[in-house]
Every structure is written in C-alpha cells, then in structure tokens.
A and B are shown apart, each in its own frame.
Chain A
Amino acid sequence: MADSQQIEPLIGEQMEGAMLGPAPSGGLHQLVPDGGEVYVTSSGWRLAWREYASNRLALIALALLVLVVLFCFVGPIFYHSNQTLSNPLAQTEPPSGAHLLGTDQNGFDELGRLMLGGQSALEIGAYASLVAIVIGTLYGAIAGLVGGVLDAVLMRFVDVLLSIPFLIVVLVLATKYSGTVLDISLVLGIFSWLVPSRLVRGEVLTLRTRDFVIAAQTMGATRRRVIFRHLIPNAMSVTIVNITFLIADSILALALLGFIGFGLQFPNTSWGDMLGNAQTYVTNGQWWLVYPVGGLLVVVVLCFNIIGDALRDAVDVRLQRR
C-alpha cells in the first residue's frame, strides 16, 4: 500500500498529474476526460413542459384551445354554410337540422358565422401580439442595454403613451383605415407593445450585469450581437408568457371594437360584431345569437389567460424543482 502512495507526476509534461497510482493513465484527454462525465439531463424547456404538464387546469385549457382552433379553421371544411350572400328569407331562424345553431338577422348560418368570427379573432390575436412583442422586445432590450439618458427618454415615452386612453386612439385610427384583419392587427399591435417593452427592459437590466454578457464584451462583441445572441434569447421566457396575455387582450379589444361597430367590414365578421348585432335580439328570446358566441369568447380568453399563468409558473420554478 505504501508504494502506491509514492506519487511521481511527470513535471512539465503533465503538471496535472496529481492523479495517483492506478489512476487512468493521464495525458489522453479524449479517452479519459478528467473533468468527469457529463450527465445527460433534460433541457430547460423540457423541464418547463414537465412543470406545465403537472398543472391539470392548464392542460385542460390547452386542450380546449386546440379544439377551438380546429373548430374555427378545420370546421368550415366539414360544415359548409353560406357566409357571403345574405338570405332575407331565412332571418333569425331557430336551430334546426339545416342550421344547427339557427341563423342571424341576415340569414347567415350562425354556426358557420362563429367559425368565421373565430378565425378573425385568432388571426388578429396572433398578428397583433406578434407585432407588439417584436416592437416591445427590441425597444426594451435597447433601452435596457444602452441605459443612461437614452433609456430615460425611451421609457418616459412609453409612460406618455400608456397615459393616453388607448381605445380612443384605436377608434380614430379604425375609422380612417378599412377594417381588414391586417389593418386591425397592426393598429392593436402598435398600441400593445408598451407593457412587453417594460417587461423586457426590466429583464435586460438584470441580464446585462450577468457575467456572460460581460464575457461577450471582453471578447469584443458588438452591441447588436449582445442584444440578439444573448439578451433576447434569455428574455424569451418573459416574452413567451406575455404573448399569451397579449393574444387574450387583443381578442377582447377586437370584440370591443366590433361591439361598438368599428370592427371588421361586412361580410367579414368578428365575435364582437356578432354580439353587437345580437344585443337587439336578446330580449326577443333569440338566445342562439347571444350565448354561443359569448360563451366561446369567454372560453378562449380564459384559456389564454390560464395558459399564460401556467407558463409563468413553469418557467419560474424550473430551477427549484428538478
């Protein structure tokens, strides 16, 4: 035993040779990594998904949402209905075999109309939130990284915009532009990037003092590289959570616009338009014009909010529970 404790490192050639006796014959790093093996664990996103999946309510919400999306976009393939020509002969018919949810005041099939309205709601929600998140992330990342006077000016500008009643501006803009899906998405998106920009800036403020950002600077990385390679990918967890809330907000805003008559142009429709038109009929006992669309709107917005909450939890606790 005493022999094996006589350690004879080959000085110079192998300074690290303090591995003793029958240790792996050093030098050949590729064969015997002396840093130890790398344990294969699951990726951060997979851990987040595991956390998300353990939340039953969130899974239900996700499933419901998938159903709604299928209903809106795949439904029309199986359930044909006339949604372009109004039919004065079939106004406000109650549900029947031909029209499962009856018809509206223009004689359109209500179920098909729900699908059509859902398409525009989901599309506008997606586009608007995309516009908002792109603008907000860039704006917030630049303000946070550059800091100083520029940061102060940029963020005060956001404060000013936040203090303007957003609906009034949107109304003014909506009357000026024709109400296509793209127009409305842009208008909504341009007014909802403020909150994400603040969130991203806050995240960037903590990220930019982290060592890996400083390391990138010592290797001579440009600001653009730091923002796009390091800051934005790391702020992603914040933005992804925020997207779900933005979609829900956009859908609600669209419904509101439609309700007061500034939404999409006929014959396009949104759930808000349908609700707005239906309010005159609700007292006449024509329930099929009100409850299905109202219920669907509530369900979709609720689903997005639940998913957002669960995502936030999943991303947050990821490091605590392994």
Chain B
Amino acid sequence: MPTPALKVHDLTTEIQLSRATVHAVGNVDLEIGEGETLGLVGESGSGKSILGLSILGLLPGGGHVTGGSIKLYDRELVGMKPRELREIRGNEIAMIFQDSLSSLNPTKSIGEQVAEPVRLHRGASRKEALDRALEVLELVGLPRPRERLSDYPHQLSGGLRQRVMIAIALACEPKVLLADEPTTALDVTIQAQILKVLDDLEQRLGMATLLVTHDMGVVAGRSRRINVMYAGRIVETAPSEELFTAMRHPYTQSLLGSIPRLESDASKPLLSIPGLPPDLTNPPAGCRFAARCRFATDQCRAQEPPLTGSGEHFFACWNPVDGPAVITVSKPAAGAAPAAAVAASVISEPAPAPAAAPAATNGSAPLLELVNVVREYPVTAGALLKRKVNSVKAVSNVSLYVNPGESFGLVGESGCGKTSLGKLIVGIEKPDAGQVKVRGEELFKKRGGELRTARRVVQMMFQDPYGSLDPRMRVRSILREPMQVQGIGSAKEQDQRVRELLGEVGLPVNALERYPHEFSGGQRQRIALARALVLEPKIMVADEPVSALDVSIRSQVLNLMKRLQSEHGMASIVISHDLAVVKYLSDRIGVMYLGRLVELGTGDDIYRRAAHPYTEALIKTIPVPDPAVEKAKADVGIRGELPSPIDPPSGCRFRTRCPLAQEICSQQEPPMRRFGPSHQAACHFPLQTPEPETAATNGAGASAAPSLS
C-alpha cells in the first residue's frame, strides 16, 4: 500500500436542523494512497456527499464534524482554522462537482475561472495564470483551448463544461481529488469520455482520487478499492474484484443484483430491496439495514455490527452472505418450459417470427402507428414580433408501429427527441407532418367529448416523481381524477377502484389521505403508475420512469411495471436513456439519434447484432458493474459532442461522430434496411449484412413493413 495521501479516521458528521439532528456520517474510516482511486458508492442520502464536503470543510449550514480525524499526509484538517483550510482547498485538495452548469460562474470566461485558483494559491500573474489555464485545458482534452479561453460557460456543452470543471480542479496540481458524481448529469457517450480523461490524468499526475457515485458501473473499472455506504455507515469495503464477486454484506449483494444488465435475461425479475432507507434524524438502534434485510435476526435489530473482516476486505454484518445472489428460475417444470411460457405471455411479436409477421398485417392492425412523423419547435427572435428564424428538429421522419400487448422501448441520449415523440403519442403535441394513429385514428384531429373518450386509450407516466403529482391533492383525489374527468362510475365505485389500484402498486391503504410530499420518490412513482392504470389504457407511455430513483428503489418499480404490464395486457412504450432499463422492459427497441430512428429490433437484435455504429457505440459506453469487463474496455466509444438539433448534419445525422463515415453519408440520407424479421437499421455501412434489397422497399417506412417472408 502506498503512503496514504488522505486518511479519514472514525469521522462523524452531523447536521443540525431546526428541530432535529441528521446523523449524516458515522464512524467512517478510509484511506487513499497516492495515485490510487478509491470508490465510494451509496444511494442518495447515504452520506457520501456529506463525507466529501466534510473533508473540504464546506459543510452546509448547521453541519459540523463531531468526531474523528481527517489527515492530509500528516496535517490534521479537523479543527483547522478557516484561513489555513482555505489555503488547502483548491490547492492541495480539489473537488469536481456534479452539476457543471451551476458550479461554474456564468459571468466569467472559462479562462479566468481556470486561472483563478492559480492566481490565488500560486500568486501567479494574470498572464502566467492564463498560460497555466491553457495548459490544463489542453490536458483535459478541451478541443481548441486557445480559442475557447474567452468563452463563457453557457457557450459550451455539458461534456465540455465538465472538462472545464476538471481543469479548474487540476489547475494547482492537487494531491487529493474529490470527484462527487462527476458524470451523473452527462449522457453515456460523454460520460465515457470524461471517465477516460479522469483515468488518464490520475495515472499521469499521481493524484489520490475519491470517486463518489451511485453508479456501480462507474466505479467498477476505475478504482482499486470500493467502499459501500448505507445510511451514513460504511457497510463494506474491499478491493474491486472481490467486492463484485465475493461480497459479504447483504446490501451490496442486493444492490448489485438489482441493476438491470444488458446481457441478462429480461424474463427474470430483478432482485429488489423492499422498503426505504431509514430516516437519519432518528436512525434505528441495531444494523441500519436490518429493516430491509432478508437475513436479519434479533441480534441485527438490537446491536450494531462492527466493521470486521480480514486482509483487505471488511464488512459490518452479523450474518454475512457469500458472494452474489443466484437468481434461479424455478426448475421443476423441465428446464426451459417455464421460461418459454413467460416469453410467450409477455413477448408477443418476436418469438415465432415468420408466423407472427403476416398476422400483424392481415389480421389485427397495429395498435399504434406512426408514419413519417415530424415535429419541429420554432426558434424565434425579437421580443415582440417573434420572427421564426429557425427550428429545432426534435423528431424527423419517424415511422414505427406497436402491436397490442407489446412493449416497445425507445433509447437515445438527451436531446434525441424521444420525449417529444412520447408527447406526440399521447396527443399532447401535434405533429407538423405525418400521422400518429391510435387504433387507426388520429387523436389530435378529434374534438370535445370524442377526444376525451379517445384519450382513455393512451396514458402517460412521467420522469419526475416530484412534478407529476399535484402537490395540493390527496392521493385519493389524484387517483380518482381520471375517472371523474371521464365520468366513469359512482363515487363509491371510484373509491373501490382506487383502493384496488393502491394494493396493486404495493402501497398501504393509509396512503389515501396523504399528500404527495409525504411519499418517497419510489412511492410517488408507484402512485403515478396507478394513475396511469386507472383508465385501463391500451398503451402506456412511460417517459424515463426510473431515472430519478435510487438503484434499490429502481428495481422495485421496474419489477412492478413489468408485472402490471403483463397482467393488464397493455402495450407500453418505455422511453429511457438507459439501454439496460429499456431492454429489461421491452420486447422491441428503437434507437433514436438526433430526431431520427436509426435502428429497430428486438432486445437481442440490438444488443447482440447491432447494425448501426451508433447503437454499437452506445452499448460499448454503458458502464457495466463488473470490473473485469470495465477494465478490458479500451476505447471510449463515440468521440465528440452531439451536434445541435437546430442545424443537424446533412445526410446521415450520425456521420460527424461515426468512425465508418464516408462521402456518401454526408450526401444521402440512409434508408431503413432490413437485417432480420424484426430488425432494421438506417446506415450506409452497417455492421451486419442486410437482407436482400427487395425485402425492404417500403422506403423509410417501418410501419407496414412486417409483410415480408
């Protein structure tokens, strides 16, 4: 073990509120050696950020370190005078924050901001500091740094801003770098780039890095050791490989089991941790995880387990587990049979491909059909007259269909138009061209009562569990509202239905009289799900249903959604930036890039036989919670930034970032080509061999396409 650059011993931090004290961090020990990255993983509220802020002495109002020590080499930081601490901050210990937009000063150029710590700590002149700024900006891979020195933060994209943040942190060559969720706000392709930058720098500069994150995939390949935090305590600490393959704490085990993975079988449910993390103003007496732990005994509830273990692996548990959980599908009914039964009941379209395809065209029409849909938002100039100067091409020429009972997933980075497409489907927005047909009828052409009845068919579930429920309504009224609006049932029947639904989404009956703010994020998402189900819709559009939730809660909601989907036999459209989530919930997946649908196929088509280079890169960049896989990754997937949707590239929109792009890509828009019974992609140089040309002569239309042999 190299000399520890930062040593935290028995640290306890509390935050005093007006009426209560939050015991945010308790008895935490950790050590980071020079040139080493230590991972700190935990859910929101586990105290991981407070730990980082304690080290820097930047605790929020009411927060103070009540015990323990923090040592930078041999200097004690706890109890240090603010003036001395100020000299260390930004100089010897630097921090990278999560949200680059609010962490950078919008009124100063980025050159000045990167130069600022150099001038403060090194006493450099303006000129020298700017030279240094140029140097670090180059180091973090900001393209054309000299031209960008005088740019302001709003002129840069999220990925570039995050690079500037890193540059500021590195400007004074700190010995310890605290990275608090450095990539959480970024898209996966950009995340991979930023993580690569951090990796390179740490090796070159020999810093000690504390990587704080909620994402097991992010830490997997990057840190030698990982600490898992739960409710203010470190529950397990081990070398990365050991933690992933031979964890001892049930929390670590459940946490890893609850992450949906690309390679896993979507028919198996995810492991879920029931309940919620404890309230830290009044933590339970024994083990803090006991209430949610399936191995908990009376000892766990009475006595707090100490951190024990041997060698480099320590854990705080009375009844440790042994390695990852094995989820086995019940065996008795001859191996494959139950799995197949599930596939048949849940997955309607892809399994018997040749038989199902003609049925889709001859018999039942698709439930939802989008034909060449275009949606552009005007960009206006002038305060009064609002001249239209340009438009944001949110959705361009998208065609797709969804069959009854089928679940369709839409993936793409932020700004690819997936949310706009969702809003077009539920009829909140009108397409500028093309058709959105639900059961063969266009929703937005209807009026009045007819429209209201038609709306029952399509319901939506939203991303933000805090914004989607009216804060001034009780749960009972929230769930009754759809029936009141639609004039369904008497007050008594409505009430009966509300109780039924509440049970179905796993909430206690006493929730009826409560207001939304009294629920946790996961519980709110359950209420939102119940509301979407009230009208028994034929299609449910779920826009990023779990991205605002913590990992352990996420799997609860995902399992619930999957169960209800098959129970109600409705079609669903799941929109997410997370391919693993989409693959877990959907039979078929559409990949969007800059307003265009670039690839369509079943989960396996997309994951195992990706035809479009973008899809391929997207799969490669997703951090996998497995150190072996993560460390083996060599390149960063996609280079560069997402082009502006106001002025998208000509021809194929992905060509500016595509490794295979050639002349033709900029001149001709690639048509949708067929690669399998349900697999299509729009690329001139696909990674798979397309089926003979005659098969896909329906132009860009994927709509009526399944009429082939």
Point out residues on A near B: beta carbons under 8 Å: 1-2, 4-12, 14-24, 29-30, 33-41, 43-44, 54, 210-212, 214-222, 225, 229-230, 233-234, 236, 321-322
Contacts and interface: CB of A to CB of B under 8 A. Distances in A.
A199 B330 CA distance: 61
A211 B464 contact: yes
B693 interface: no
A24 B275 CA distance: 11
Give the most central of A7, A10, A12, A212: most B CB within 10 Å: A212
B71 interface: no
B321 A18 contact: no
B481 A221 contact: yes
Contacts of B469: 212
A287 to B, nearest CB: 46
B526 interface: yes
B294 A23 contact: yes
Contacts of A37: 275-276, 508
Nearest to B460: A218
Interface string B441-484: 00000000001110110111011100111111100000001100
Contacts, number: 188
Given A16-B559, A36-B520, A220-B451, A322 B17 contact: yes
B327 A215 contact: no
A114 to B, nearest CB: 40
B330 A220 contact: no
A212 B478 CA distance: 10
A24 B453 CA distance: 41
Contact of B485 (A16, A30, A220): A220
B536 to A, nearest CB: 12
A18 B555 contact: yes
**10 shortest interchain CB distances as A-B pairs:** A220-B452, A211-B468, A15-B563, A220-B455, A18-B269, A35-B506, A211-B462, A34-B506, A233-B472, A33-B508
A53 to B, nearest CB: 11
Contacts of A24: 274
A35 B18 contact: no
Nearest to A8: B330
Nearest to B276: A36
A21 B342 contact: no
Nearest to B275: A36
A34 B470 contact: no
A4 B453 CA distance: 50
Contact of A39 (B459, B518, B522, B563): B518
Contacts of A22: 294-295
B412 interface: no
Given A19-B274, A35-B507, 7 more contacts: A5-B322, A9-B327, A11-B330, A16-B272, A20-B294, A218-B428, A230-B472
B231 interface: no
14 contacts: A1-B322, A9-B329, A9-B330, A11-B330, A15-B566, A16-B559, A18-B555, A34-B274, A34-B556, A37-B508, A214-B423, A218-B426, A219-B535, A230-B472
Contacts of A33: 506-508
A146 B474 CA distance: 26
Interface in B261-298: 267-272, 274-276, 279, 294-295
A236 B460 contact: no
A216 B473 CA distance: 13
A18 B514 contact: no
Interface in B502-539: 503-511, 514-515, 517-520, 522-523, 526, 528, 531, 535
Contacts of A12: 338, 341-342, 345
Given A15-B269, A322-B17, A20 B325 contact: yes
B560 interface: yes
Contacts of B520: 36
Contacts of B462: 211, 214-215
Of the four ranges (under 10, 10 to 19, 20 to 34, 35 or more), the interface on chain B belongs to 35 or more
Contact of B514 (A19, A38, A211, A230): A38
B515 A7 contact: no
Nearest to A28: B503
B428 A214 contact: yes
Given A30-B503, A215-B531, A18 B272 contact: yes
Contacts of A14: 563
B470 A212 contact: yes
B148 interface: no
A56 B339 CA distance: 67
B181 to A, nearest CB: 21
B163 to A, nearest CB: 31
B444 to A, nearest CB: 12
A30 B321 contact: no
Given A34-B556, A212-B467, A230-B470, A220 B274 contact: no
B291 to A, nearest CB: 9
Contacts of A40: 514, 518
Nearest to B258: A18
B427 interface: yes
A7 B328 contact: yes
Contacts of B279: 39
B326 A218 contact: no
Nearest to B279: A39
Contacts of B526: 35
B609 interface: no
A24 B294 CA distance: 9
Contact of A6 (B326, B342, B467): B326
A207 B208 CA distance: 45
A24 B515 CA distance: 27
Interface in B78-125: none
Nearest to A12: B342
A50 to B, nearest CB: 8
Contacts of A5: 321-322, 325-326
Given A5-B321, A6-B326, A34-B556, A17 B17 contact: no
B224 interface: no
A16 B460 contact: no
A120 to B, nearest CB: 35
A174 B470 CA distance: 43
A191 to B, nearest CB: 27
